[in-house]
């Protein structure tokens, strides 16, 4: 992301105690790491990023064995790349498919939306990181 800036935050004692508990249970080194993680999650959750920016996420589908999943070609979404495709049986008749995808946020959402709107399919798109957050890991 860039230069680290220090700033002070005022909180009620109870909230700080909860933050410390979250820091310990999350395996974070300190409060700052916990707060950084919370801010990243919130940015991804609220879509506070430009929909033209690159994102990385997962599409999870749950369906009954034998259900025909729709064909949603990625060629209709030029930026979308499927980087992993895993399928397994949660139970004898219930399948789970997890797709790891990258691409422009709007195209990933559009492509995933077509899969997720299928009859007899339960699923979710989870955007894990934007290109900015991904690059932060590299720095």
Domains of the chain, first to last? 13-45 (no CATH), 54-138 (3.30.70.1150)
Phi-psi region of 42 (alpha: psi -120 to 50; beta: other; left: phi over 0): alpha
Chain segment 43-83, per-residue pLDDT in tens: 666 655 567 888 889 999 999 999 988 889 999 999 999 99
Full-model pTM: 0.68
Mean pLDDT, the chain, whole residue set:
86
DSSP assigned state of 98: E
Supply the DSSP symbol for 41: H
DSSP 67: -
Q: How many CB atoms lie within 10 A of CB 101?
A: 24
């Amino acid at each position: 992301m860039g230069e680290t800036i220090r700033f002070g935050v005022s909180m009620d004692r109870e909230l700080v105690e909860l933050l410390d508990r979250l820091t310990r249970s999350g395996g974070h080194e300190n409060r700052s790491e916990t707060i950084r993680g919370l801010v990243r999650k919130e940015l991804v959750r609220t879509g506070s990023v430009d929909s033209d920016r690159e994102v990385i996420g997962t599409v999870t589908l749950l369906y009954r064995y034998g259900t025909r999943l729709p064909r949603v070609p990625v060629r209709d979404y030029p930026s979308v790349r499927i980087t992993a495709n895993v399928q397994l049986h949660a139970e004898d008749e219930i399948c789970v498919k997890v797709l790891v995808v990258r691409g422009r946020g709007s195209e990933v959402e559009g492509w995933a939306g077509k899969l997720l709107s299928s009859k007899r399919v339960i699923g979710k798109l989870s955007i894990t990181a934007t290109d900015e957050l991904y690059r932060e890991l590299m720095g």
